[in-house]
């Protein structure tokens, strides 16, 4: 028997690379599990901690003095919207991790407000991930993760943690907030890895 007879849907998308199960949006939806934190730049810092407990730290001023990159990327949210050609500016994780001594395979990202997410260290390297502070030419709004968020657009957007504060490098994988609640450990939109077991 036919599923949802009479359903037609929108005109099929052309000219964009839409992962399975996604649809294109023009606006920029917001999804967060709690209140939006408002983090003063004076007290903002980013900490990378290796598996032995050694820290590398950057203040807001120090972050701004690092080499900056522009990134034009597509965003794919697990709630099924995709947004194409978004413009960001920030610091590549290649720069931030360059002097960090570690043989860890896994990272747990922590945020102002308490959110966490996990991903492999390899996905932070190789020009694929940034600490982004500027969106579309303007300071990143708090509702979208400002002052700074992780931007790792080849994975579903919950991995691009808003209000990023720390990256812990770990020998063993530790699940973050949504990953503990049934969402996928890796989250590749092209393999539609939405939930654990996908």
Q: Which residues bind another protein (CB under 8 A)?
A: 1-10, 12, 21, 23, 25, 27-37, 45, 47, 49, 53, 55, 57, 79-80, 108-111, 113-116, 118, 141, 143-144, 165-166, 168, 174-182, 194-198
Least distance between another protein and beta carbon 75 (Å): 13
53 or 67, CB closer to another protein? 53
Least distance between another protein and beta carbon 80 (Å): 6
Least distance between another protein and beta carbon 116 (Å): 4
68 or 105, CB closer to another protein? 105
Tell me how far apart the alpha carbons of residues 30 and 146 are, in angstroms, rounded to a whole number: 13
Pairing of strands 149-151, 138-139: unpaired
Residue 41: partners with Cβ closer than 8 Å, 6 or more residues away: 60, 147
43 or 67, CB closer to another protein? 43
Tell me how far apart the alpha carbons of residues 24 and 20 are, in angstroms, rounded to a whole number: 12
The SS3 assignment for 140 reads coil
Least distance between another protein and beta carbon 127 (Å): 25
101 or 127, CB closer to another protein? 101
- Burial annotation 14-40 (CB, 10 A radius, 16+ → b, else e): eeeebeeebeeeeeeeeeeeeebbebe
54 or 127, CB closer to another protein? 54
Rg value, the chain, Cα: 17
Least distance between another protein and beta carbon 167 (Å): 9
Q: List residues bridging with 135 in a β-sheet.
A: 88, 138
């Amino acid at each position: 028997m036919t599923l949802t007879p009479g359903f037609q849907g929108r005109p099929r998308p052309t000219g964009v690379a839409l992962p399975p199960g996604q649809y294109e949006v023009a606006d920029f939806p917001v999804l967060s599990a709690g209140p939006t934190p408002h983090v003063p730049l004076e007290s903002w810092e980013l900490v990378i901690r290796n598996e032995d407990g050694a820290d590398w730290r950057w203040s807001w001023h120090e972050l701004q003095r690092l080499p900056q990159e522009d990134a034009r990327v597509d965003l794919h949210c697990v709630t099924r919207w995709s947004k194409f050609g978004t413009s960001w500016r920030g610091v590549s994780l290649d720069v931030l991790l360059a002097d960090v001594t570690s043989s860890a395979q896994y990272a747990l990202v922590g945020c102002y407000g308490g959110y966490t997410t996990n991903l492999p260290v390899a996905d932070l390297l190789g020009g694929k991930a940034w600490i982004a502070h500027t969106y579309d030419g303007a300071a990143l709004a708090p509702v979208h993760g400002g002052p700074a968020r992780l931007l790792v657009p080849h994975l579903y957007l919950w991995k691009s943690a808003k209000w990023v504060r720390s990256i812990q490098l770990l020998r063993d994988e530790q699940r973050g907030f949504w990953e503990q609640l049934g969402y996928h450990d890796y989250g590749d939109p092209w393999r539609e890895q939405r939930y654990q077991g996908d």
